[in-house]
Amino acid sequence: MRAIKSQRRLKPYFYSQSAKVGGVGCLFGFAVAYPLFFVIASSFGLESDIPIRSYDGYTVLVVFIFCFLILCLSLFTFCALFAFIYYGIKCKKGYIDREKLINIVFKGIYPKRWQRRL
């Protein structure tokens, strides 16, 4: 909850940066997860040219759960990776310190000076 509140209170410039970094991370995360869906389905014996209703409901549910977990893991991993790269460069240049870098990347908590006063 703190991370969501922290991001919603960002000043427009920092919110825009955060949204762009997150968007790129999500695009790459989905691009990696999508081919994995077919690998998972084929490992459970599901073929893409056969209607899904012809398979056992339990198998379809397990495949759906695995695919959903892979999608969540992939999105989180790539968003964190791109945030680490982007804000890591800012850390190297001295704009933010290491503690703020860790808070942004892994906790989603942004510095107070980036947030609007409410």
Look at residue 39 in the predicted model and tell me its pLDDT.
93
Query: For position 94, what pLDDT does the model report?
Result: 92
- Which residue positions in the chain have pLDDT lower than 50? none
Do 71 and 33 meet the contact criterion of CB atoms below 8 Å apart?
yes
Tell me the domain boundaries of the chain: 15-107
What is the per-residue pLDDT for 91?
A: 94
- Confidence at residue 118, expressed as pLDDT on a 0 to 100 scale: 57
Predicted pLDDT at 116: 83
pLDDT, position 47: 87
pTM over 0.85: no
